[in-house]
C-alpha cells in the first residue's frame, strides 16, 4: 500500500484503518450530516468552522518550523497540538497533528478579524473566508484590541522605527529603506492606530509567536496575497478569545488555546503546564449550545478546557454515544487516516 508516493508497511496500513474507525467514533472523521434523532433544535444551516484538521508524517530531515510555514501555521500552534515533540528534531515517521481547522471568532464577519489569543488573522472576502498565522506583540508591547481600519497600503515600505524601539536598541537607524534588513518585509497594511501595521517580515520564524513590538507579522507569501485583496478602508477587528464554540453539520465544536504564559512555555519546552479553564468558559459554551446543551458531554468539555489543544473537537453526543474522547494516535508508526491530499499529509476531518 502506498501513501503520498511512499510504500507503507502492512502493519501501518492496518493501524491507519483502525484509526479511521476511532476518528469516526469520536467525531474527528468527516461528518455526513445531521442525525435524524435528537437534532430538532440544532442549527442545520450554521457553519462556523473552516478548514480540515490534518496529520503529517515527518521525514528524517523534517523541521516542524518549515512544516508550519508550508501550511500557514505558527510553531506554537503545532506545539500545542503535539505537546512534547521537539519542533527542531521531531524524528522520522512521527505523526504530527496539523491544526488546519478553525472555529471562526465571535466577531463581525467582515473585513479583517484578528484573534490575538490564537495568533491568527481571518479575512472575510467576497463570499469566502481565509485565515493566516500571525506574530503579535510580546509582553510590554501588547497588540491593541478594538476596531479600526486599513488607512494605507505600501509595497516595499520604508521602516521608521518608533522611539520605544530605538530605546531598546540604540543601534537601529532612524530610517530603514526597503531591502533584506527591513523587518516590515515587502508589503505593509497601515492601521488607523498610529504605529501599528499588518506587515511581512524578514524573519519568518517569528510568525506564530509573541515577538513584535505590537505590530502584526505574516509570512511573506501570505501578506503578498492578502495585500492584493484588501482595500483601504477595510474594517479591522482585534479580539482576544481563548475559547471558541461553533457548529458544523448540526454538531457543536469547541476550540481552546493556550494562554500567553503557556505560549511562552511551549516555545521553550514544547509542552505547557496545565491551568484551570479560562474564567466564564462553561457559561459561554452553554450560551452557544442553547437547546443543544443537553447533548454536550460536559466531562469531555472540562478536560478539553484544560488540554487547550488549539483545534476544534466535537462536544455534542450523537444518538447512541455515551461519552466522547480523542483516539490514541500511534505517533511512532505514523498511523493515521488513509486519505492523503498532500504528499505525506492526511486529512482527519
Contact status, residue 191 vs residue 151, Cβ threshold 8 Å: yes
Instruction: List the grid coordinates of 53.
Output: 484538521
Q: 116: Cβ–Cβ under 8 A, 6 or more apart, which residues?
A: 136, 143, 145, 238, 239, 240
Catalytic residue among 132, 186, 199, 257: 199
Distance, in Å, from the CA atom of 74 to the CA atom of 68, rounded to the nearest integer, reads: 6
CA-CA-CA-CA torsion sign (127, 188, 79, 284): negative
- Annotated active-site residue in 215, 257, 269, 339: 215
Give the count of beta carbons closer than 10 Å to the beta carbon of residue 306: 11
Torsion sign, CA atoms 31, 36, 42, 43: positive
**Run of H or E residues at 103:** strand 101-103
Q: Which stretches within the chain are classed as H helix?
A: 10-26, 64-70, 75-81, 163-168, 220-229, 260-269, 281-289, 298-307
d(C-alpha 32, C-alpha 307), whole Å: 27
Q: Is residue 269 flagged as an active site residue?
A: no
Q: How far is CA 261 from CA 116, 138, 227, 267, 280, in A?
A: 14, 11, 32, 10, 19
- Judge residue 294's burial from the number of C-beta atoms within 10 Å of its C-beta, 0-12 exposed, 13-18 middle, 19 or more buried: exposed
Task: Please confirm, yes or no, whether 186 is among the known catalytic residues.
Answer: no
Give CA angle at 277 (276, 280), nearest 5°.
Answer: 130
Beta bridge partners of 322: none
Q: Residue 264's CB: how many other CB atoms inside 10 A?
A: 17
Please state the φ and ψ torsions of residue 233, each to the nearest 5 degrees.
Answer: 100, -10
Radius of gyration of the chain, Cα coordinates, nearest whole angstrom: 21
Rounded CA-CA distance 107/48 in Å is 12
> Which are the catalytic amino acids?
199, 215
Amino acid at each position: 500500500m502506498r501513501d503520498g508516493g511512499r510504500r507503507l508497511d502492512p502493519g501501518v496500513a492496518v493501524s491507519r484503518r483502525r484509526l479511521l474507525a476511532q476518528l469516526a467514533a469520536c467525531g474527528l472523521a468527516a461528518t455526513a450530516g445531521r442525525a435524524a434523532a435528537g437534532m430538532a433544535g440544532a442549527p442545520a444551516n450554521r457553519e462556523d468552522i473552516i478548514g480540515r484538521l490534518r496529520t503529517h508524517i515527518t521525514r528524517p530531515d523534517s523541521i516542524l518550523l518549515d512544516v508550519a510555514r508550508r501550511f500557514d501555521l505558527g510553531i506554537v500552534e503545532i506545539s500545542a497540538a503535539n505537546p512534547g515533540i521537539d519542533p527542531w528534531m521531531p524524528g522520522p515517521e512521527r505523526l504530527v497533528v496539523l491544526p488546519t481547522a478553525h472555529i471562526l471568532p465571535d466577531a463581525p464577519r467582515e473585513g479583517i478579524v484578528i484573534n490575538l489569543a490564537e495568533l491568527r488573522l481571518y479575512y472575510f472576502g467576497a463570499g469566502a473566508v481565509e485565515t493566516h498565522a500571525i506574530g503579535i506583540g510580546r509582553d510590554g508591547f501588547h497588540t491593541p484590541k478594538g476596531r479600526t481600519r486599513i488607512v494605507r497600503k505600501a509595497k516595499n515600505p520604508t521602516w521608521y522605527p518608533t522611539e520605544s524601539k530605538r530605546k531598546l536598541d540604540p543601534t537601529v537607524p532612524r530610517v530603514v529603506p526597503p531591502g533584506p534588513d527591513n523587518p516590515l518585509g515587502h508589503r505593509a497594511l497601515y492601521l488607523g492606530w498610529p504605529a501599528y501595521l499588518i506587515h511581512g517580515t524578514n524573519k519568518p520564524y517569528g510568525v506564530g509567536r509573541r515577538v513584535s513590538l505590537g505590530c502584526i507579522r505574516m509570512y511573506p507569501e501570505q501578506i503578498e496575497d492578502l495585500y492584493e485583496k484588501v482595500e483601504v478602508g477595510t474594517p479591522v477587528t482585534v479580539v482576544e478569545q481563548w475559547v471558541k464554540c461553533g457548529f458544523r453539520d448540526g454538531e457543536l465544536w469547541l476550540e481552546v488555546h493556550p494562554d500567553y504564559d503557556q505560549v511562552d512555555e511551549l516555545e521553550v519546552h514544547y509542552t505547557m503546564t496545565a491551568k484551570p479553564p479560562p474564567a466564564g468558559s462553561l457559561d459561554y459554551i452553554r450560551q452557544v449550545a442553547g437547546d443543544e446543551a443537553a447533548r454536550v458531554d460536559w466531562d469531555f468539555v472540562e478536560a478539553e478546557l484544560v488540554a487547550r489543544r488549539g483545534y476544534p473537537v466535537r462536544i455534542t453526543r450523537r444518538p447512541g454515544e455515551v461519552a466522547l474522547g480523542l483516539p490514541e494516535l500511534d505517533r511512532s508508526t505514523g498511523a493515521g487516516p488513509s486519505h492523503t491530499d498532500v504528499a505525506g499529509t492526511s486529512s482527519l476531518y
